[in-house]
Amino acid sequence: MLQVSREGRLLRLTLNRPEKRNALNGALCRELVAAIEEGDRDPGVGAILLSGAGKSFCAGMDLDEMLTPAEAELGEVHERLFTIGHRVTTPIIAAVHGAALAGGTGLAANAHIVVASEDATFGLTEIRIGLWPFVIFRAMVEAIGERRAVELGITGRIIDAQEAASIGLAHRVTTEVDASASEIAAAVATSSPAAMRTGLRFVAETHGLEWDKAGKLAQRVRRDVFTTADFAEGISAFREKRKPRWPSLNL
């Protein structure tokens, strides 16, 4: 249900239930969480590229499981999955084509960069079946703001890629989504592992922090980064006009 491959420092994860429009059943959710968390623990992984096989990125939750006794267990793995963008320190790039609805929109909201095809559609459609996007709502608020997230939640309307880009849910709309997302992910993967992880950890730690406290944390973290071998190598590589060889890759 999840295809996993590695290209240098790029980890590719492909949802592989095309016959179900890559609907998220419990097994796929667990595999996806495990793969992302394992990749995040690997210092050799510089970026994670998430995509979907077939005509859709992800049509949301597998409704066949939602009314079973296992639903309570599903709630735990859904919580881990739909907060993963806030927890990991390895960039996640999502290549979204076709339908990315409900939980599929939640996956997009958890990605750090979203590249959407021109035919991509997004929506918090849970209200149509008498539900609310409880678990994914926090990530949506982070991505597009509370008022927009509430509007999508109460209307259940489906938006196209251009509107998704206009509200900040997608970063790029293109006719070549796989090539574009792969190019971005490969470029991101060349960055300093130490700087990237420190930066994304800083983003998480400053969430909701008072302005002055966030500023003091920024100064402290920046001073720490100034002393790292990666920063010294970055400066040297820039001056010598060559590609950096990050020391933190060998730690």
The pLDDT of residue 139 is above 70? yes
For the chain, percent of residues with pLDDT exceeding 90: 92
In the numeric block, which tokens belong to residue 36?
A: 């992302």
Nearest to 251 by CA among 230, 221, 227: 230
pLDDT at 75: 85
Q: How far is residue 88's CA from residue 83's CA, in Å, rounded to a whole number?
A: 9
The per-residue pLDDT for range 218-245, each reduced to its tens digit, is: 999 999 999 999 999 999 999 999 999 9
The pLDDT of residue 99 is above 70? yes
| 126 has catalytic annotation | yes
Q: Residue 113: beta bridge partners?
A: 93
Q: How far is residue 197's CA from residue 187's CA, in Å, rounded to a whole number?
A: 16
Q: How far is residue 75's CA from residue 228's CA, in Å, rounded to a whole number?
A: 40
CA 172 from centre of chain: 14
Q: How far is residue 128's CA from residue 117's CA, in Å, rounded to a whole number?
A: 25
Angle between helices 137-144 and 103-110 (to 10 degrees): 50
Count of alpha carbons within 13 angstroms of residue 176, beta-carbon side: 5
The per-residue pLDDT for range 26-50, each reduced to its tens digit, is: 999 999 999 999 999 998 999 999 9
CA 148 from centre of chain: 19
Mean pLDDT of the chain: 95
Longest pairwise C-alpha distance within the chain: 62
Band (251; pLDDT cuts 50, 70, 90): low
Q: Do residues 230 and 213 make contact, with C-beta atoms less than 8 angstroms apart?
A: no
The pLDDT of residue 67 is above 90? no
The per-residue pLDDT for range 142-180, each reduced to its tens digit, is: 999 999 999 999 999 999 999 999 999 999 999 999 999
Band (70; pLDDT cuts 50, 70, 90): low
Nearest to 116 by CA among 134, 149, 137, 143: 143
The pLDDT of residue 73 is above 80? no
The pLDDT of residue 136 is above 80? yes
Least confident among 20-24, 69-73, 128-132: 69-73
Kindly provide the residue ranges of all beta strands, DSSP E only, lying in the chain, ordered along the sequence.
2-7, 10-15, 47-52, 92-96, 99-101, 113-117, 121-123, 159-160, 172-174
Q: How far is residue 250's CA from residue 104's CA, in Å, rounded to a whole number?
A: 36
Q: How far is residue 21's CA from residue 25's CA, in Å, rounded to a whole number?
A: 11
The pLDDT of residue 69 is above 70? no
From the candidates 19, 31, 126, 233, which is the catalytic residue?
126
Nearest to 71 by CA among 26, 20, 31: 26
pLDDT at 128: 95
